């Protein structure tokens, strides 16, 4: 496994892979690698890609400094896991090259209107501008190819797809299914921050989605059902929403068909999100 710690070495390695006839598959991460990240790497490998895995904790997408400080980091473990997976290029770019002016903002910020206004965007001001800006930089440095994103961050996935289409990047966005623990908890780097007491309550998110998916109903009824399960689980509910999977527009009771349910909650201060398909019926 090759390791790059500066932008030019990263850019050159990706260009060399393309020159050799390979398609470059980018797997962007913030480290604390787990089986969910493994699934993205394996998807790229199945496609025959030259796999570029980036590890960069992006400060611009954290609107809470305490959340940034608490975000799990283990560079040695990440390197070992990436090597065991057979990643071709591990990129560990320094903050000084990604955002040279940090903590001051850059003059350029990427903003995707509409898709980022609600859900996570409503509760985390500036979050998606930070994500869009860093993903743009990752795509620009890596160059043409494919990029792999998990469906767990469903709003992020929709935003990236829109951004790539709008800006004309020569990159195919590949969505990969959510990977879950045996008990149903969606894998997340934040899960390591859950205490033994909080972990059972965190399962309220996946239980809420299962309750919504279990029986078709009007959108308002599905929202109420999910919120009830979350509240019974003892978590601090941020939202329980049913949306159009492409536009992320909240559904009304006149609609029917397959839609997406999204939930978010804080569990002892740890913010978790989850989502899944649901079938809504007319009222």
DSSP assignment string, 142-180: H-SEEEEEETTSHHHHHHHHHHHHHHT-SEEEEEE---B
Of the candidates 114, 105, 158, 153, the residue with the CA atom closest to the CA atom of residue 133: 105
Q: Do 243 and 251 touch, CB atoms closer than 8 A?
A: yes
Question: What SS3 state is found at 29?
Answer: strand
Residue 195 lies in a domain: yes
* pLDDT per residue as tens digits for the range 127-166: 999 999 999 999 999 999 999 999 999 999 999 999 999 9
pLDDT at 283 over 80: no
Residue 52 lies in a domain: yes
Pairing relationship of beta strands 145-150 and 24-29 according to DSSP bridges: parallel
Q: Are residues 12 and 90 in the same domain?
A: yes
Q: Are residues 158 and 129 in the same domain?
A: yes
Q: Are residues 112 and 24 in the same domain?
A: yes
* pLDDT per residue as tens digits for the range 211-223: 999 999 999 999 9
Catalytic, 37? Answer: yes
Residue 219 lies in a domain: yes
Last residue of a domain, one of 121, 149, 176: 176
Q: Do 241 and 261 touch, CB atoms closer than 8 A?
A: yes
> What confidence score (pLDDT) does residue 196 get?
95
Assign 282 a pLDDT band (cuts: 50, 70, 90).
confident
Supply the CATH number for residue 207's domain: 3.30.1300.10
Integer Cα distance of 110 and 197 in angstroms:
39
Domain count, the chain: 2
Mean of the pLDDT values across residues 196-207?
97
* pLDDT per residue as tens digits for the range 8-17: 999 999 999 9
Of the candidates 126, 156, 128, 120, the residue with the CA atom closest to the CA atom of residue 241: 120
Angle, helix 7-19 to helix 127-142, in steps of 10 degrees: 50
Q: Are residues 138 and 245 in the same domain?
A: no
Q: Are residues 150 and 217 in the same domain?
A: no
* DSSP H/E element including 219: helix 219-232
Assign 51 a pLDDT band (cuts: 50, 70, 90).
very high
> What confidence score (pLDDT) does residue 165 get?
98
Q: Are residues 237 and 163 in the same domain?
A: no
Residue 211 lies in a domain: yes
Last residue of a domain, one of 150, 176, 202: 176
> What confidence score (pLDDT) does residue 107 get?
94
Tokens at residue 206, please? 């996946």
Q: Which domain holds residue 259?
A: 189-278
Q: Are residues 71 and 163 in the same domain?
A: yes
Residue 197 lies in a domain: yes
Last residue of a domain, one of 176, 209, 226: 176
Residues 6+ apart with CB under 8 A from 157: 149, 150, 151, 173, 175
Residue 44, beta-bridge partner list: none
Assign 265 a pLDDT band (cuts: 50, 70, 90).
very high
* DSSP H/E element including 42: helix 35-46
Q: Are residues 11 and 97 in the same domain?
A: yes
Integer Cα distance of 135 and 129 in angstroms:
10
Alpha carbon 98 to its chain's center: 19
Catalytic residue among 37, 111, 127, 256: 37
Q: Are residues 199 and 268 in the same domain?
A: yes
> What confidence score (pLDDT) does residue 14 get?
98
Q: Are residues 246 and 127 in the same domain?
A: no
> By CB neighbour count within 10 A (0-12 exposed, 13-18 middle, 19+ buried), where does 97 fall?
middle
């Amino acid at each position: 496994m090759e390791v790059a710690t500066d932008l030019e070495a990263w850019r050159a390695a990706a260009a060399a892979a393309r020159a050799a006839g390979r398609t470059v598959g980018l797997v962007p991460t913030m480290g604390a690698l787990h089986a969910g990240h493994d699934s993205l790497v394996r998807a790229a490998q199945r496609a025959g890609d030259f796999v570029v895995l980036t590890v960069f904790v992006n400060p611009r997408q954290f609107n809470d400094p305490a959340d940034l400080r608490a975000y799990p980091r283990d560079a040695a473990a990440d390197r070992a896991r990436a090597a065991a997976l057979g990643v071709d290029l591990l990129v560990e770019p320094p903050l000084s090259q990604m955002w040279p002016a940090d903590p001051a903002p850059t003059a350029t910020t990427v903003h995707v209107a509409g898709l980022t206004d609600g859900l996570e965007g409503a509760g985390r001001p500036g979050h998606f501008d930070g994500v869009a800006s860093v993903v743009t930089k990752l795509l620009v440095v890596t160059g043409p190819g494919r990029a792999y994103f998990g469906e767990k961050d469903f709003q992020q996935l929709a935003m990236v797809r829109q951004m790539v289409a709008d800006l004309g990047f020569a990159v195919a966005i590949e969505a990969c299914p959510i990977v879950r623990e045996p008990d149903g908890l969606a894998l997340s780097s934040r899960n390591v921050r859950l205490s033994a007491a909080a972990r059972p309550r965190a399962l309220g998110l996946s239980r809420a989605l299962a309750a919504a998916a279990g029986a078709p109903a009007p959108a308002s009824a599905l929202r109420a059902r999910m919120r009830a399960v979350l509240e019974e689980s003892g978590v601090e509910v941020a939202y329980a929403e049913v949306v159009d999977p492409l536009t992320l527009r909240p559904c009304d009771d006149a609609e029917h068909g397959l839609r997406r349910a999204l939930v978010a909650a804080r569990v002892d201060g740890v913010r978790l999100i989850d989502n899944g398909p649901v079938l809504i019926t007319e009222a």
